[in-house]
Structure 1
Amino acid sequence: MKKLIVLLFGILFSSTLFAGEVGSDCTFKGKKLAGKVQFVTSFPDFKVQVVDSFPDLKVQKVSSFPSDCGKWQEVSSFPDLKVQIVTSFPDFKVKYVDSFPGVP
């Protein structure tokens, strides 16, 4: 019985430690991870955790032309993506950078 409990905890924690895979084409679940982003507290397209190391995506905040992978322009209406910032159980992890955004 103890082995089963340890196994279940191992599976649970290993799946939460590793957030989802961002594709080499800069997509996650079929959505491109570039463009106009609205930060929301409910009903997001993705839940994202901001980290300092080992990100799934490097994000550069820009004020215009957010067409390249990892370039996000924050907007309050008509977003391409809705993102919720969380501290646990993210869909994927991001690191904010000043240059060279994209998939590491």
Structure 2
Amino acid sequence: MLIELALSQSAALSGPVAEDCTFNGIPLHGDVEIVESFPDIRVQLVTSFPDLKVKRVTSFPDDCGEWEFVDSFPDFTIQFVSSFPDIKIEYVSSFPGLP
């Protein structure tokens, strides 16, 4: 019982982004399309305490937190929301990834 409680608490403290930089199995790097409905991930833009630091790139978004915004053929879609996000992101100019 005590082990189950400790595991559930550590999962709650770790946040929605997994250590391998995924959210529900979606790698959080690559080509991203912003949509108005039915997103893969609901995202809130914050300036402190993000779940993921995102660097906007124009090519080769291969590392954790590197996103290239596209209009078609995305790796995943996001919708910006002001409440009840799946993850919170902060835009950075260097050192993207897990905080």
Band of TM-score, shorter chain: 0.7 to 0.9
**Residue in structure 2 matched with residue 46 of structure 1 by the alignment:** 41
Q: Find the aligned partners of 1:101 and 1:22 in 2 and give their Cα distance.
A: 13
Offset of 1:27 from its aligned partner? 0.3
- Could you say what secondary structure the match of 1:78 adopts? coil
Structure 2 residue ranges without an equivalent (≥5): 1-12
For the residues of structure 1 that align with 2:98 and 2:19, how far apart are their CA atoms? Answer: 7
Q: Within 2, Cα distance between the matches of 1:32 and 1:69?
A: 8
Equivalent positions of 1:36-75 (< 5 A) are 36-75=31-70
Give TM-score scaled by structure 2 length. Answer: 0.84
What is residue 25 of structure 2 aligned with on the other side?
30
State the AA in 1 paired with 2:41: F
SS of residue matched to 1:84: strand
Q: Which residue of 1 aligns with 2:75?
A: 80
Structure with max Cα Rg: 1
Identify unmatched segments of 5+ residues in structure 1: 1-17
TM-score scaled by length of structure 1:
0.80
Distance 1:77 1:67 in 2: 18
Identity of aligned residues (%): 60
**CA–CA distance in structure 1, aligned partners of residues 57 and 87 of structure 2:** 20
Encode CA deviations 1:51-88: one digit per residue, 9 max, x unaligned: 00000000000000001000000000000010000000
